[in-house]
Amino acid sequence: MPRPLSEEQKQEWKERIRLHSDSGQSMLQWCREHQVNYDSMLYWRRQMGANPTKAIERSSFRELSPPLDDKRITIEYQKVQIHMPQNVDPTILIKYLHGLREGP
């Protein structure tokens, strides 16, 4: 059984959770960058009642209509669709794919 955390340690975890939430990074990316154990971060987010997924505000997105003559490719992963021109820059495509793989 794990020993109880001191109030100071609880505050440190709350601060880590807040910093990650404010960063806009995936949890995995943030943990790597800040040398925080990913599994510990998941555990403490649940313990402290933090929601591991950020709510997406629909008002922050704007749907764009592609030109009618533009050929597109669509990537779909877990109910998320990304539409891109067929001649998309490969480096951008790779960034999209890495983002989908890492998740929220």
At 34 the pLDDT is 92
At 86 the pLDDT is 79
**Residue 43 token pair:** 């555990």
26, 60 contact by CB (below 8 A) = no
Within the chain, how many helices (H) and strands (E) appear? 4, 2
Domain ranges in the chain? 7-47, 63-102
CA distance 73 to 44: 39
pTM of the model: 0.45
Confidence of residue 33 (pLDDT cuts 50, 70, 90): very high
CA distance 37 to 10: 16
CA distance 91 to 97: 10
Instruction: State the chain's mean pLDDT as an integer.
Output: 77
pLDDT tens digits, residue range 37-78? 999 888 888 887 765 444 444 555 666 666 665 677 887 777
Looking at per-residue confidence, does 104 or 85 come out higher?
A: 85
At 45 the pLDDT is 87
